[in-house]
Amino acid sequence: MPTPALRTPVLVAGAGVAGSLTALELAHHGVPSMVVERADRPARIPDLLMINGRSMELLRRLDLTGDLRAAGLDPDCPLDFLWSAGMDRPPALQWRLPPVATLRETYAATADGVAPVEPYVLISSPGLISRLRRALRGHPLIDLRTRWTLTEVETTADTVTATVLDAEGGARHLVEAGYLAGCDGADSTVRRCAGLTLEKLGPPAPYLALHFRSPALAGRWANPAVLVTGGATVVAGHDGDRCVAYVPVGADDQDAVANPADLLQDRLGLPDDPARIVTVVQRSGVPSVARSYRQGRVFLAGQAAHQVETPGDDLATCIGDAVDLGWRLAAAVHGWAGDRLLAGYQTERRRHALADRERGARSRSTRSRLQRLVDSGADGAALAAVLRNGPPQVDPAGTGPAETAGSPGFRPHAFRLAGGGQFFDRLGPQFTLVDLTLGQDGYPLVKAARVRGIPVRHLPLAGAPVPAAWCGRLVLIRPDQLVAWCADGPPVDCDGVLDDVTGARQQLYENT
CATH number, domain with residue 221: 3.30.70
- For residues 82 and 438, is the Cβ–Cβ distance under 8 A? no
d(CA 392, CA 394): 6
Assess whether 466 and 423 both reside in one domain. Answer: yes
d(CA 498, CA 475): 13
pLDDT at 508 over 50: no
Q: Is residue 98 part of a domain?
A: no
In 260-338, alpha helices (H):
260-268, 315-334
Assess whether 171 and 59 both reside in one domain. Answer: yes
Q: Is residue 392 part of a domain?
A: no
Pick from 347, 362, 303, 327: nearest CA to 455: 327
pLDDT value for 265: 81
pLDDT value for 94: 84
Average pLDDT over residues 252-256: 67
d(CA 14, CA 16): 6
Assess whether 468 and 487 both reside in one domain. Answer: yes
Assess whether 409 and 486 both reside in one domain. Answer: yes
Average pLDDT over residues 284-312: 91
Assess whether 155 and 238 both reside in one domain. Answer: no
pLDDT value for 393: 67
Question: Number of folded domains in the chain?
Answer: 3
Which residues 6+ apart lie within 8 Å of 387 measured at CB? 83, 92, 93, 366, 370
CATH number, domain with residue 335: 3.50.50.60
Assess whether 193 and 214 both reside in one domain. Answer: no
Assess whether 304 and 276 both reside in one domain. Answer: no
Assess whether 332 and 458 both reside in one domain. Answer: no
Q: Mapping DSSP to helix (H, G, I), strand (E, B) and coil, where does residue 458 land?
A: strand
Instruction: Return the higher-pLDDT residue of 373 and 416.
Output: 416
Instruction: Return the higher-pLDDT residue of 301 and 512.
Output: 301
Q: Is residue 172 part of a domain?
A: yes
Residue 207: enclosing H or E segment and its boundaries? strand 207-213
Q: Is residue 492 part of a domain?
A: yes
Q: Write down the pTM of the prediction.
A: 0.93
Assess whether 264 and 220 both reside in one domain. Answer: yes
pLDDT value for 29: 97
Q: Is residue 171 part of a domain?
A: yes
Average pLDDT over residues 42-53: 88
Q: Is residue 137 part of a domain?
A: yes
pLDDT value for 507: 41
Assess whether 225 and 174 both reside in one domain. Answer: no
Q: Is residue 261 part of a domain?
A: yes
* End-to-end Cα spacing for the chain: 55
Assess whether 427 and 278 both reside in one domain. Answer: no
Pick from 458, 484, 471, 490: nearest CA to 415: 471
Which pLDDT tens digit goes with each residue over 271-281? Answer: 566 788 998 88
Which of 192-206, 359-373, 380-394, 441-455 reaches the highest mean pLDDT? 441-455
Which of 324-333, 348-357, 362-371, 499-508 reaches the highest mean pLDDT? 324-333
Q: What percent of the chain has pLDDT over 90?
A: 66
User: What is the span of the domain harbouring residue 270?
Assistant: 207-283
Assess whether 304 and 335 both reside in one domain. Answer: yes
Boundary residue ending a domain (259, 283, 307): 283
Q: Is residue 79 part of a domain?
A: no
